[in-house]
Structure 1
């Protein structure tokens, strides 16, 4: 769900300056047709209009450049409704996607797939012939039910199933839509038998308020996105979801087939092989809380992963 509503969720931080992410051949038109690397043209790496996706696009761009491939950066394009057709038509060569949201929003709104394997299988079968997904990373940015360390210890909470005997005494805070969604309150009850005593609704973009309520024990559980820097800062506990109530949202390269050769594919798959949710959490902390430059954060991670040029 994060991929579907992330524009609102990042409303509080979307104004961050990511000038390095927007660098590159900004005068070039990304919609002028397919851009390949085999004939000397630059690969067009695009991003959506929120900081995490721009960071991921910068990682992709630098990984490709480390293989001596020419790259044009076209970041901050907008929401999926804006950029998806550009990828399908070849105006963008490479894009960091979230597989669950890509399937549910752009490819098959009726899909019920939730696991990484099932989602990717459907994407491979249903995507337009001009594009394909490459390897998915372990890194995910998805919904979670998260508690404080004190609450986790008090009730011995590790997984969503552990909430069943105690949720009736707890209040969960979340966006107002969470209460009636299958990937939300409805699913918690049907899949795990979990029903909270009270529900505290908030606007979808009010993550910082939600975290404050959680830390002050005004809510005892919260629907937090798994790459929110507060998880590290405040040592919050993300409850495991063994039954995949919340669909997988693995970071996955979506590419225009004819633009991306074997070298480029290997570079992007190399990123996916190394990138974890913990990595993304730490990078988002540096980007959002510490106000570091996205280009520097990306370079540091690629160096540590052995993928820098």
Structure 2
């Protein structure tokens, strides 16, 4: 019997059980094999991706329970390990560092290989997507075009480079030290702006108080202000591809195929657009943005 045939049989059995339970005053539930609890971290982008996973699974007949906005890894990784949740969207580089804080992997392939070794027994990552959300160096369109700056190394053309970012960016390996050691941008003036690439950082860039700013790569203000995200050919900033993290007890071939199709379609540009819909003026619900993305891509 194929996986899909077994699943249809299980659903039929669950439906019959629901009738019996209803007659007895009980709560109907789907069979364990077809019930998936999808969680998200405590920010909107992650909830959008979790909704994409959840709705795609529901479209294939799975019963999905949701636990959104759980919080940080310290909260949801134990929940994944003990079966309170089964599936959550993750970011490859930061997930690796959670389990192996000494890792020096930066490219997508290096991170993938190291992550396979670092994950504890019982957890599994599926196919990653091209979509990333990570630290990025951004300049205005005007500066990019006037000085021909498209990659991080091009910042050396400016002489003294004023860099805006959170205080820790001054000492982190992918911050000022990386500019100097990896790309040879030696003359750096650091401007501390404590809002994680938010409005104060963007305004400093637009007002000319800094030349380049550290902003997370899927922040809607990048698109809204026509900023240019600089290329990073030396992989100074570690890969942060969106990847499904699952309790391997739930990782059937059929479920993996559904999630692999999503990963094949999801891009960084998609995340930017989805975040703009949810966090911008529209204030769309994450579930609405997720549904319309799935329909646009022909996945439901």
More helix by share: 2
1:192 aligns with 2:183: yes
Structure 1 counterpart of 2:157: 165
Q: TM-score, normalised by structure 1?
A: 0.84
Structure 2 counterpart of 1:9: none
1:66 aligns with 2:59: yes
Q: Displacement, 1:40?
A: 4.6
Task: Tell me the C-alpha RMSD between the 2 structures.
Answer: 1.5
1:250 aligns with 2:238: no
Aligned ranges 1:76-95 → 2 under 5 Å:
76-95=69-88
Q: TM-score, normalised by structure 2?
A: 0.87
Distance verdict in 2 for CA 1:197–1:100, change over 3 Å: closer
1:176 aligns with 2:176: no
After superposition, the C-alpha distances for 1:102-158 in whole angstroms (9 at most, x for unaligned) are 0002x1011000111111111112211201000110000011110000010121011
Aligned residues: 271
Distance 2:86 2:69 in 1: 15
User: Which residue, out of 30, 39, 42, partners 1:46?
Assistant: 39
Distance 1:160 1:174 in 2: 15
Q: Displacement, 1:277?
A: 0.2
Deviates more, 1:115-124 or 1:238-247: 115-124
Q: Is the 8 A contact 1:172 1:196 kept in 2?
A: no
Q: Displacement, 1:221?
A: 0.6
Segments of structure 2 that go 5 or more residues without pairing to the other structure are 1-29
Structure 1 runs (4+) greater than 2 angstroms displaced: 37-41
Distance 1:165 1:205 in 2: 26
Q: Give the 3-state SS of the residue equivalent to 1:100 in structure 2.
A: helix
User: Which residue, out of 83, 106, 117, partners 2:109?
Assistant: 117
Q: Give the 3-state SS of the residue equivalent to 2:182 in structure 1.
A: helix
